[in-house]
Amino acid sequence: MPGGGLTTRGPRNLLRQIREAMAGAAPAQERLDTVVRIIAQSMVAEVCSIYLRRASGELELFATQGLKPEAVHKTRLRPGEGLVGEVARSAQPISLSDAPAHPSFAYRPETGEDPYHAFLGAPLLRGGRAIGVLVVQNRSERRYDEDEVEDIQTIAMVLAETVASGELLGQEELRDIEVAPHRPERLKGQLFAEGLAFGHVVLHEAPVPPENLLAEDPQAEEVRLHEALVGLKANIDKMLEGGQGGLAGPSFEVLETYRMFADDRGWNRSLVEAVRTGLTAEAAVDRVRNEHRARFAKARDPYIKERLHDFEDLANRLLRVLAGDRPGERELPDDAILVARNLGPADLLEYPRHKLRGLLLEEGSAASHAAIVARALQIPCVGRLMGLRDRLSEGDLVIADGETGEAYLRPRPDMLAAVESRMQVRSQREAEFAALRDTPAVTLDGQRITLLTNAGLAVDLENLDAVGAEGIGLFRTEFQFMVSDELPRLDSQTALYRRVLDTAGRRPVTFRTLDIGGDKVLPYLETEREENPALGRRAVRLGLDRPGLLRLQLRALLTAAAGRELRVMFPMIATVDEFRHARELVDVECAWARRRGRALPDLLRVGAMIECPSLLWHLDALLPLTDFVSVGTNDLFQYMFAADRTNPLVADRYDPLSPPALRALAEIQRRCADTGTPVSVCGELAGRPLEAFALLTLGFTRLSAPAGGVGPVKRMILSADLGAARRGMANLLGSSSASVRGELESLARKLNVTI
């Protein structure tokens, strides 16, 4: 390779030749053969080969210039086999001066590559995953320089996008290629929010289309990139400045780290170098994002993986700055199914609600922010769909099955017909629930059940009347903090709480104080890395460590509730002393308001959430101090069973309808009944008919369910005879089984309870 790199510096001319070859009318194989011939000639290489990954994971030689033609479509390498397999495995380029001497070298006699020593391979990356490998080889033992490595990576990027988009090969040729976005597929994930919908894919991370990869004016693109980076950093600086007025002197370490990433020399240099090779600014961002994704995704350290999300979000923000828009301003189809790897607290709310039909995620958990928002919006959400993003293209038809936790990609007509039939059945059921909206929740034997709803977003307030709930049993105050770029000030917090109380009218509202930490991280609050954040400084622990933050929220609540009832409860109380200290802060704020002649609530009730198992053996000390308690079954059970509910590897290793869980609930209900302490259940269990049936049989008469669960649970209540059901449950509590779900279902059927 005399002169180093392309015969004309920079791959711009080569990329244009490749595009012209792809646009030709020749058969697909001829066009691919032309592409490798052009690359070999331009890079003064004696061999150029393209390998693509089959659905089996094998890398198949699809085209070559220099190796034996008869090896095409015959030579296949297993995952990790040979240097080509190593390039795909590592998702990194490999440059060698003497390839046969490398321990990973695998000799295939049918290719005739014996004479070639110099080897340069680059992965075809899409979504951070290698879908193929581009290789150039030479006879002489020489080391390819940095410019040549940069050039082949740029070419590989363009080839990856054109192969995946179907421009280079047609549907028939891509039939067995893993990137093929054409055939129907079914992916099994996890149910995050119930419902059923089909529609057209909208990618949260909008890809850069192949026609927008090459720059007409590289210098102008570099200027665009520079201006976009300046704008991105200015936005982050604005967020930092807005947070400086926060209480308790937060250093905003996370946001400053975020700003540090935006100013990272390596990241900026990679972007500029990619543009200088002839890519558009958008293509440069996409390429660098792919490279970071491929590198970081292999890390085992959770902290390093979190940094990948930082870079991902920076890249997405930079692409939006370049496009001059926001997700909420994008043109969406009326039947949009949003597809993303993961979503932050505010992302989903930025999209027009009336056009969203469903949400599909590669990552996340049922307890994630996106899942909670999806349940509030009452749109089906399925997560943990591995490989989803790389299997879909913008506009693909897809089914989000929030009943089975599955996604159907490009479904067949008969599958669509079956889903439409199921949707009609769901519509009929929803009409039945709507008809019960104003019917009191009274069992067949006359037991009155108070049925409340959980809330936290503005849309939840609309659901309050729609589902006929008797109040809000759990208002998650942290959402206001999570969707804000800075700490919400006193007046904005007060306005929200006042609006909630105004909407509820005479119906009770229970406000849960700020529950952040763990998986709920606020970028403008100082945080420290914790090995196990679920057991770390979160919820009331954070509030007690930063009394200024908690006092500000309590002040807003007291102000908003002036002249009416205020119900406040503290989350994650683990010791009686924690509740005492938290309640003392309420007293301090009440005294502060009285000294200034400010109006206070007519009735103030302060409660605790029971979600730490330690309280089960100290209820005799806690209950006399509280005005009410609420059982948070989501956290209570994850701590009881030592199984992180956000971790898909262990979240399903226990059943909440197991004797240990039910006995714990029975003990809480009995102690509350003995002391006359009002008790409710506000976890996810309260919104599922069978689980709610179990709660009623244990003696609970106050349930707070997600909006979508109010109707089904009320229908169950109206069909239940609790006297007979409680006798049946008493026998199940002594079971030695891991779960009594089957027995409960049998009991419900025997008693004609609608579940």
Weakest-pLDDT range from 14-28, 419-433, 452-466, 565-579: 14-28
pLDDT digits (tens, 9 = 90+) for 37-56: 999 988 889 999 999 988 77
Q: Are residues 200 and 157 in the same domain?
A: no
Arithmetic mean of pLDDT over the chain: 83
pLDDT-based confidence at 139, cuts 50/70/90?
very high
User: Which CATH number covers residue 607?
Assistant: 3.20.20.60
pLDDT digits (tens, 9 = 90+) for 167-218: 555 555 555 555 545 578 889 998 998 899 999 999 887 666 656 777 778 8
* Identified catalytic residue from 48, 381, 612, 682: 682
Q: Are residues 75 and 149 in the same domain?
A: yes
Residue entry with tokens 């949707």: 423
Q: Are residues 357 and 375 in the same domain?
A: yes
Q: Are residues 627 and 652 in the same domain?
A: yes
Annotation marks residue 612 as catalytic: no
686: containing domain: 447-719
Work out how many domains the chain is built from and give that number. 4
| pLDDT(9) > 50 | no
Domain presence at residue 734: no
Q: Shortest CA distance to 157 belongs to which of 194, 200, 186, 128?
A: 128
Largest CA distance in the chain: 92
- CB atoms closer than 10 angstroms to residue 325: 13
Q: Are residues 202 and 227 in the same domain?
A: no
Q: Are residues 141 and 37 in the same domain?
A: yes
Structure tokens at 540: 């009331």
Q: Are residues 324 and 334 in the same domain?
A: no
Domain presence at residue 344: yes
User: Which CATH number covers residue 379?
Assistant: 3.50.30.10
Distance CA 134, CA 53 (A): 12
Distance CA 639, CA 612 (A): 7
Helices (H), 567-688: 576-595, 619-622, 633-640, 659-675
Annotation marks residue 682 as catalytic: yes
Higher pLDDT, 229 or 65: 65
* Identified catalytic residue from 117, 204, 369, 612: 369
Q: Shortest CA distance to 534 belongs to which of 430, 651, 615, 427?
A: 651
For residue 571, what pLDDT is reported?
Answer: 94
Distance CA 343, CA 341 (A): 7
For residue 16, what pLDDT is reported?
Answer: 75
